[in-house]
């Protein structure tokens, strides 16, 4: 009888403040077995996203260990019998799913359909910063706004990005520039240099009235508006800014209803984007692997640059995960916080 293989995992049993000693725990778990279309990945780097903190903070007390983590880079060490596209030894990256244990563990099972080969020209930390934000930006632009994901496919049109210096915004700006859009984005002025680095043509100061800044530039309407923040705070401001048959989308959940009637006679489309919707409902999940293939190609070509701002590279463990999570919870990090190394 073979000996049961154990691995290191980082989890919790209830949502606690990050300062609590039990907010993350180093534990031992049985190494899972790859079956069907699953890959078993040895996780080498991961990044922490706001969704990680939200899910932990709101988690009820449970007798079952909860292992979060979404963005990951690692090596395939085993494959299920139905796997078609990957082999042992491949270096892959992915954003995972809310329906299974995540990347905060030494060995993770992940469906091959939401995986792609990691960019060859990036470090594991750089690659780990990309999947979740890239997929969110990709789906909003190409699945929801119906833009074709090809260079200069909508050249001559424009987009306004609210909260353009955040994680999703930093990728969305680059993809928008790639497809030929003229990019306008709001942020704190201290981040204007960063905005220009990631493809923004016209940085806008979110402290000041938006319409007057746009008039000074000579632009007052947009084909696309991406609100990467609570849209209720911006709805009345952006209502007159979208062109007829334009698109408005957001990624942030809200607690109140939206009055969109004003856009009816302009035939404006309104879109929600939630990256986990596909895996939550089993909807065209292979499209996420395909999207990550495109992102990897663009990253290797330096069309998309990674957004790493801080790295904890002394090991993937509860201590470093707490430090990284605390950074994210401040809400002041310009880029992604990555944890890498051995478990």
Residue 114 has φ and ψ, to the nearest 5°, of -110, 20
CA-wise closest residue to 226 among 278, 265, 174, 190? 174
Model pLDDT, residue 3? 73
Residue-wise pLDDT for 149-184, tens only, equals 999 999 999 999 999 999 999 999 999 999 999 999
Domain ranges of the chain: 6-131+306-340, 134-276
Alpha helix segments (H runs only) across 147-255: 167-178, 192-197, 210-217, 235-238
What CATH superfamily is the domain 134-276? Answer: NAD(P)-binding Rossmann-like Domain (3.40.50.720)
Q: Phi-psi bin for 180: left (phi > 0), alpha (psi -120 to 50), beta?
A: left
CA–CA dist 222, 187 (Å, integer): 18
Report pLDDT for 42.
98
Q: How many other CB atoms sit within 10 Å of the CB of residue 120?
A: 11
Q: Are 246 and 223 in contact (CB under 8 A)?
A: yes
Structural tokens at position 57? 């903070």
Q: Report whether pLDDT(2) > 60.
A: no
Mean pLDDT of the chain: 96
Exposed/middle/buried for residue 130 (C-beta within 10 Å: 0-12, 13-18, 19+): buried
Q: Does domain 6-131+306-340 have CATH number 3.90.180.10?
A: yes
The percent of residues in the chain predicted with pLDDT above 70, rounded, is 99
The answer, yes or no, to whether residue 255 has pLDDT greater than 60, is yes
In this prediction the pTM is: 0.95
pLDDT tens digits, one per residue of 33-54: 999 999 999 999 999 999 999 9
- What's the pLDDT at 243? 97
Each residue's pLDDT tens digit, 178-228: 999 999 999 999 999 999 999 999 999 999 999 999 999 988 899 999 999
């Amino acid at each position: 009888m073979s000996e049961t293989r154990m691995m290191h995992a980082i989890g919790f049993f209830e949502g606690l403040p990050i300062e609590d000693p039990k907010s993350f725990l180093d534990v031992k778990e049985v190494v899972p077995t790859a079956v069907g279309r699953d890959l078993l990945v040895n996780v080498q780097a991961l990044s922490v996203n706001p969704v990680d903190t939200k899910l932990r903070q709101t988690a009820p007390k449970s007798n079952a260990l909860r292992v979060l983590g979404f963005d990951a880079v690692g090596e395939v060490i085993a494959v299920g019998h139905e796997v078609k596209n990957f082999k042992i030894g491949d270096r892959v990256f992915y954003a995972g799913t809310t329906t299974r244990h995540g990347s905060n563990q030494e060995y993770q099972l992940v469906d091959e359909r939401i995986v792609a080969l990691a960019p060859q020209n990036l470090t594991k930390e750089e690659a780990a910063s990309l999947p979740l934000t890239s997929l969110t930006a990709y789906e909003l632009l190409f699945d929801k706004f119906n833009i074709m994901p090809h260079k200069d496919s909508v050249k001559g049109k424009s987009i306004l990005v609210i909260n353009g210096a955040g994680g999703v915004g930093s990728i969305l700006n680059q993809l928008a520039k790639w497809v030929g859009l003229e990019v306008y984005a709001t942020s704190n002025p201290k981040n204007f240099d960063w905005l220009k680095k990631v493809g923004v043509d016209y940085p806008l100061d979110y402290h000041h009235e938006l319409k007057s800044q746009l008039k000074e530039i000579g632009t007052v309407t947009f084909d696309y508006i991406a609100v990467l923040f609570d849209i209720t705070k911006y709805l009345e401001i952006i209502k007159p800014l979208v062109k007829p048959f334009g698109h408005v989308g957001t990624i942030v959940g809200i607690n109140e209803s939206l009055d969109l009637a004003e856009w009816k006679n302009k035939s404006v489309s309104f879109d929600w984007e939630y990256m986990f919707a596909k895996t939550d409902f089993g909807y065209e999940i292979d499209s996420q692997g395909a999207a990550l293939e495109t992102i990897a190609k663009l990253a290797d070509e330096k069309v998309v640059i990674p957004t790493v701002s801080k790295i904890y590279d002394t090991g993937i463990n509860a201590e470093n995960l707490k430090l990284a999570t605390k950074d994210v919870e401040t809400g002041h990090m310009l880029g992604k916080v990555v944890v890498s190394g051995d478990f």
